[in-house]
Amino acid sequence: MSIGFLTQYYRGLGHSQRIKFIAEKTAETHDVVVMDQLFDPPIEHKVPHIAFLRDYKVSNFDNIFQFIQSDSIINLRIKQFIETIEKYKVKILVCEGFPFCRQQFAHEYFRYLEECRKRNIKIIISVRDFPWDEPHSGQLTDWVVYTQNIVCKYFADYILVHGDEKLLPLISDRTKHAHSKQIIKDIKHLLKYTGYVCDETQPKHSRKNNNIYISTGLNKDEAVTIFKHVAALASEYPDYKFIMPFANRYKSLGNRKNKNIYLVEYIPELRSKLADCAAYITYGGYNATVEILKGEIPSIIIPRQDGKKLEQFVRAFTFEPYDFHKVLTVQEVGSIKEVLDEVLAGYKPKSFEDQFNLNGTTNTAKFLGTMYDKLNT
């Protein structure tokens, strides 16, 4: 019998990365199977069992949504999911993100959860510290609210919130829209705050080189804006290397003549490299923020603000008063040189590891292990 983890690699590594930390920690004491959907993430899950819910290969992320959401492909993934939970005798399913994100895949996720309920599999919803985005208008808002209500009321046994309630509770004055407040009120008894999930072995920062890493994931428009502003500065810092993962995907950046700009596809084990770097410029995603906090890395966070997404903006400015990173909005990125000079001049982030709960990986693994043991007594 095992504990199953359902995650999805789609336009960003954050979701898969959190599950990797939790699943590997859980696997130290219990049998684990990770079920990964859609695409092959460039990370390795070091767990006893892993099942990829697909049998197709796709390398281009653009214009493929219609393909991966075709009835035949969805039915294939459902079939593979059923085979996996039965093969490994899954007793607990950890469902990452949904229904607080991935609503575009809701019809498929409902089928996963229904198959679990048929087999009396306990369902745990795993969410980041601030899962809300500004609701869309009209019919789509109704669908998002309906999805969250149905899953939380009728499927979820627990909702694990990977954050610190004292710092950023799910419901607060930052939760601006009424539908999220009502949902939280109705499901408060299901919530368990675990603390922030991270690589608990991540080393502390100690500068040993002049590398500056600029990481903005796969959000094209804002990423190009940030990359262009940083690239324009590179010639003023000839002794530094500006290393930009994923930037080679953006043809609009062109072939930069600066010899100290390096456009790369992906940097394996970026966390270990950040321990030695001169500076880190990044979006304000969950994983990046926690890595900065855990490693005390001199950083500039530029929270993603495209569309009506609030998550990174709220997180960045919630943490800003604690002075463990610098914050610029996308609109302020034109003045990044002043902030970068401050960081390179010896800015030392404050340590708040004893103040914030950064034990989410261990706490979540313990919670799942205890729940599993009770089911088998």
Q: What is the pTM of this model?
A: 0.88
Instruction: Give the list of residues 6+ apart from residue 331 with CB closer than 8 angstroms, or none.
Output: none
Q: Distances from the Cα of 196 to the Cαs of 33, 162, 271, 296, 363, in angstroms? A: 22, 5, 16, 15, 9
Q: What is the pLDDT tens value at each position of the chain, 377 positions in all?
A: 899 999 886 666 778 889 999 999 999 999 999 998 766 666 777 888 988 776 655 555 555 666 667 788 888 889 999 999 999 999 999 999 888 877 778 888 999 999 999 999 999 999 998 876 555 544 456 656 667 778 887 899 999 999 999 888 876 665 555 455 556 667 788 899 999 999 999 988 998 999 999 987 655 667 777 888 888 888 899 999 999 876 666 555 555 567 888 887 777 778 889 999 999 999 888 999 999 999 999 999 998 876 566 788 888 888 888 888 888 888 888 889 999 999 998 877 766 667 789 999 999 999 999 999 999 88
* φ, ψ for residue 187, nearest 5 deg: -115, 15
- Is 302:285 a contact under the CB 8 Å cutoff? no
Measured between alpha carbons, how far is 316 from 322 in angstroms, rounded to an integer?
Answer: 11
Q: What is the rounded CA–CA span in Å between residue 292 and residue 354? A: 15
Tell me what pLDDT residue 338 has.
Answer: 93
Half-sphere exposure of residue 347, counting CA atoms within 13 Å on the CB side? 21
For helices 14-26 and 360-375, give the axis angle rounded to 10 degrees. Answer: 60
Q: Which residues pair with 93 in a beta bridge?
A: 4, 123
pLDDT in tens, 152-188: 878 999 999 999 998 888 766 655 554 555 566 677 8
Domains along the chain with CATH numbers: 2-198+358-375 (3.40.50.2000), 211-344 (3.40.50.2000)
Q: Is 314 helix (H, G, I), strand (E, B) or coil?
A: helix
